[in-house]
Structure 1
Amino acid sequence: MATEKNLLQCYNRGCGQKYDPENNLNDSCRHHPGLPVFHDAYKGWSCCNKKCTDFTEFLNIKGCTSSKHSNIKPPEPEKQVLKEELLEEVIEVKPIPTALKRPPPDTPLVTLKPEIAPSLQQVKPAEQKSGQQANEIEGEITIGTTCKNGGCGATYQGPETNSSTCTYHPGVPIFHEGLKYWSCCQKKTTDFNVFLNQVGCETGSHVWKKDEEEKTVQCRWDFHQTGSHVIVSIYAKQYCPNESIVKLSPVRLNAKLIFPLQSNSSFLLDVELKGIVDVGASQVTMYGSKVEIKMKKAEPGSWCKLGVPLGTDKPSVKTNLDNITPAVEAVNLDDL
């Protein structure tokens, strides 16, 4: 019987026993000729199909092959050597594109040259002049015209009336809790007629015709977008393509349409854009029923909205003093 000193260590995978070299038979060793495999938490041998998840159970899997014990360590599996051409391969990582620097809102606007549809090019000159003729008639001062300064009440009787002094209120009328007065002076009353007859607190020249606010027209508009463009559509008819102007900067859109048949009324759309556009690659097309503004995006991306309106025409609200009636009993407050 071999002593402990004469026993050799078997290096066959999965055996782990010591053996007597003089008593080493062909079926003395049960081992795994394959390699250990670890994949997706499973552990096993490449030479047999038995798999487990516990490492101790893996170590106790009996060998699948019988042979003699061996004290020679099996060769280690060859490490995969990368091919020389793969080592020299350079992987190019493209830098993440940075957002364009946003130009200031006051960047100068550029007037876009529109493409006019043939139907608009046939507009009769007489139709375009009708609004101008109406404005010339309105520019005449007729006899009996009342001075437009608040609290004056003088009427135009001819050029000589211009030399008379105008006594008026430069402020605005205020109606609060039944009291009526001018913002420029503190004389208050509850009687509307007394309020209208209050003598002005300043003197100056008569104004027979106020510089009227530009008449406006309400037009419907909307926008849609593609991957490369933002398209704004202004729906309008009977506008003058020669007088209407569309201006654009990288961050602002300014479109003004003129309507000659409506006393040269206008529609204004002034928007600070959500994104940045390429002015040179943008274009305007004028049709008989709409104006289409096609703006080229300067950088990719979707716009959640067109932008922030800087100016859109809204109907003005004027106070009509003739429609106001006294709400409380008249009291003279001259001594206040």
Structure 2
Amino acid sequence: MRVTLSGPVSLPFDLERPVVGAPMAGGPSTPDLAAAVTNAGGLGFLAGGYKTPQQLADQITTTRALTRGPIGVNLFVVSANNVDEDELEAYRQELKYYADRHGIEVGRARWDDDAWHGKLDVVRELRPDVVSFTFDCPPADVLHELNALGVHTAVTVTSPDEARTAADRGARILVVQGPEAGGHRATFDPAAEPGTEPLPELISAIRNTVDLPLIAGGGISTRDQVRAMLDAGAAAVQVGTALLLADEAGTNPAHRSALQDPAFTETRVTRAFTGRPARGLRNRFMDRHDRAGHAYPQIHYITAPLRAAAAAANDLQALHLWAGTGYRSARTGPAADIVADLAP
């Protein structure tokens, strides 16, 4: 059913500043960063991806001790897939060059669901204020159960069709991810080509599709851009790249240096590092390994040892350097100052 709204739908909780700290899996999102964003008047998020359930529980407990405000947790919804095992093995062999250079072994392809059930149990028990989902929409019974427990549910979407699916299943909030976003695209069908509709137009299209509060994310790095998203109908914005250089972020030193290195002049979407489309600073690894098709998390596990070794060796040309298009505006300093500078 198509709806036309005269103004943005409000979030089901109050924020002093309409800024959400994006969950950034793999290290950047820390309890200190989540708490700092919340304490600055926004909403800080923890990234559940790649953690064990116990690690996630420990981070929620730690964050709770650092703030009295709301906190969010993000979970991956990993879909089953059919991959060509021979093709994956060929890719492993293609990457031996990097492994030999660092004296390590290429990883083995495997599939898992990122401890989905264990992490849901953590959310049920510890009940963060908000739980968001990325890569797909959870079943309706999961969303309804969490809503009933008092946990606000949010689903990351990249199109009006995905927004309609999430709304129909019971999501209370939509995180609308535009094509400029850094890191993994949240597209429900990872085999499809990521959408290219600019974020303001995407916000408008989704507002005319569902009657839910929207959080806009993707390439947002200035106060004027925040104001433009709010004017377009978003209730808040989600920023990730803008926080990568924050004092409280767990961004590794190699990634931090690359974000400030003038040698990196553009971002690009690639499947080379994980098998799922993701935007990062363009480097030689992206250019040499132009992949298509859906092979997540299998390729993630193949390249994980190579990426860890590249980070340790400060090998910026072989490392995934996730970043949105606004990376040039990222700055160092306390997260509180960054949030204050962004809020209109």
Normalising by structure 1, we get a TM-score of 0.20
Compare CA radii of gyration and give the structure with the larger one. Answer: 1
**Greater share of strand:** 1
**Greater share of helix:** 2
Normalising by structure 2, we get a TM-score of 0.19
